[in-house]
Chains A and B, each alone.
Chain A
Amino acid sequence: TQLLEQSPQFLSIQEGENLTVYCNSSSVFSSLQWYRQEPGEGPVLLVTVVTGGEVKKLKRLTFQFGDARKDSSLHITAAQTGDTGLYLCGRYSWGKLQFGAGTQVVVTP
């Protein structure tokens, strides 16, 4: 059983469209990290959210941390082909970073 549930598992959209992926848990996070993994590479950190209700923006990516700190979302505006990748959320639990299964995003021209 995943401590972190990510949805959807797979998302295919065309360039210019918007998308949102979700990360949920039944327990409270002290903080949450979002990583992106491109084919043939290791995950790379995009952002860390810490405070309930926090919103962080990274160019066309908007990250939100739920008020109760049990969920988070990643919204991409006007997706580009370079946004293609596996998006992973992770949380520290007892000093260990645990990940959800990820959302595979494919952006086609």
Chain B
Amino acid sequence: EAQVTQNPRYLITVTGKKLTVTCSQNMNHEYMSWYRQDPGLGLRQIYYSMNVEVTDKGDVPEGYKVSRKEKRNFPLILESPSPNQTSLYFCASSLKQGLGEQYFGPGTRLTVT
């Protein structure tokens, strides 16, 4: 089954404790991205990757890092999480940048206390 998977689905952590949210897709998509979703603000893009070893900032990149060492994986790293990063996070992939349907993962709900 074609899908985007994320782990964990739920995470509660404390300020400053590094964490990684994993994302994997099995559709051989070139383009992957991370979004955060907050009430009243919709989905905002954090980082995106056009292909292996190619990443770039989205609209709200501060406090986040990403890497794309393999085509299928695109982890999101919070080196020092803060309470304002409490949010619902989605990973998405599409065949190419700027084209077609984006396939979203099920989401990761992160709470930073």
Contacts and interface: CB of A to CB of B under 8 A. Distances in A.
Contact of A40 (B33, B44, B98, B107): B107
Interface residues of A, number: 21
Interface residues of B, number: 23
Nearest to B38: A101
A41 B107 contact: yes
Contacts of B92: 42
B104 A96 contact: no
Interface in B67-112: 90, 92, 97-102, 104-107
Interface string A30-52: 00010000001111110010000
Contact of B45 (A40, A45, A97, A101): A97
Scoring B45, B48, B101 by chain A CB atoms within 10 A of each residue's CB, the highest score goes to B101
Top 4 closest A-B pairs, CB basis?
A42-B104, A95-B98, A101-B42, A99-B43
Given A42-B90, A43-B104, A92-B99, 12 more contacts: A33-B101, A42-B92, A42-B105, A88-B42, A92-B98, A96-B33, A96-B58, A96-B98, A97-B102, A99-B42, A101-B40, A101-B41
Interface of A: 2, 9, 33, 40-45, 48, 88, 90, 92, 95-102
